[in-house]
Amino acid sequence: MKKSFISRRAFKTLALNLVVWVFALAWMLPFIGLVAVSIQPYREVVVKGWVRVPDLSSLTLNNYIEALRNPLYDLATGYRNSVIVAFLSSLIPVVAAALTAYAFANLDFRLKALLFATILFIMMVPQQLTVVPLFLLYRNLGLYDTFQGIILLHSAWGIAWVTFFLRNYFRFIPRSLVEAARVDGASEITIFYKIILPLSIPALIASFIMQFTWVWNDLFYALVFLASRDKQVITQKVVMLKGEFHIDWGLLTAGSIISMSTPLILYVVFNKYFMRGVAAWGVKR
């Protein structure tokens, strides 16, 4: 009796695992294909197709080296530019938005509701809609084709949603903590640094990673606002790996993987915080 119960449970577990793995494989197949193609010579992919176990003896990193080193493609410069742009375009909005979010979560001031609604509204505006006036503005201000320009642009968009995200997180922190600190004589700045920020590390990390990934993956603004070769970011460079008449799939996939690796690694490293930040406050009180 008991035995059959256990085996039924085992069967259930097995079936569940099977289903989950099937879904996971379907989900990962494009990525597996990407990796497989990137580490084989182009010739072999064309002749034998990509859905197979690669021939170990023919594996190569040439595609990666070529993509990074060849001055024609110059992915290395693009990577460096992306790091600069994405890092600053994430750091600036997270710092600025944390301060704004604190005000929205813990202070009372005039027009608070209206201002907050404005921020929500800004979040809803499609980026494409703003590009023409911004382009003209940037050309006049001399911000066109500069890092400062694109960082400013991404930061501005980032501040809106990160403010929204962090304000919601800050509101999970019991209000009595803030009030206790006020009665104890702490200034708002002290409360912000000593109480709110340390308790919000998961949310700060989560919003930083999401913003970083967003900026890193952006192609649209980069195409419009960064023109010169030495300023272009990695997404622009990856596009250029594809020739007009000829596509070297090995080169293109290697470029894609280099490009997507950084957000992926960040996500894996900070996964724990990321989950906590998104799932909000769960500390036992």
In the complex, the residues that contact other proteins under the rule CB under 8 A are 174, 176-177, 179-187, 190, 194-195, 198-199, 283-285
CB 223 within 8 A of CB 277: no
Looking at the DSSP assignment, which residues form a beta bridge with residue 242?
247
Look up residue 246 and give its two tokens.
């000829």
At residue 242, φ and ψ (nearest 5 deg) are: -95, 115
In whole angstroms, the minimum distance from the beta carbon of 187 to other proteins comes to: 8
Residue closer to other proteins by CB (options 174, 243) is: 174
Residue closer to other proteins by CB (options 178, 233) is: 178
In whole angstroms, the minimum distance from the beta carbon of 190 to other proteins comes to: 6
In whole angstroms, the minimum distance from the beta carbon of 178 to other proteins comes to: 9
Residue closer to other proteins by CB (options 7, 187) is: 187
Residue closer to other proteins by CB (options 203, 226) is: 203
In 3-state terms, what secondary structure has residue 242?
Answer: strand
In whole angstroms, the minimum distance from the beta carbon of 107 to other proteins comes to: 13
One-letter amino acid for residue 100 of the chain: T
In whole angstroms, the minimum distance from the beta carbon of 279 to other proteins comes to: 17
Residue closer to other proteins by CB (options 49, 185) is: 185
In whole angstroms, the minimum distance from the beta carbon of 205 to other proteins comes to: 15
How far apart are the C-alpha atoms of 217 and 263, rounded to whole Å? 9
How far apart are the C-alpha atoms of 86 and 36, rounded to whole Å? 28
Q: What is the DSSP string of 178-217?
A: HHHHHHTT--HHHIIIIIIHHHTHHHHHHHHHHHHHHHHH
CB 250 within 8 A of CB 54: no
Residue closer to other proteins by CB (options 2, 110) is: 110
In whole angstroms, the minimum distance from the beta carbon of 273 to other proteins comes to: 14
Residue closer to other proteins by CB (options 106, 155) is: 106
Alpha helices in 39-146 (DSSP H): 42-48, 62-69, 75-106, 112-124, 127-141
Neighbouring residues of 190: CB distance < 8 A, sequence distance ≥ 6: 181
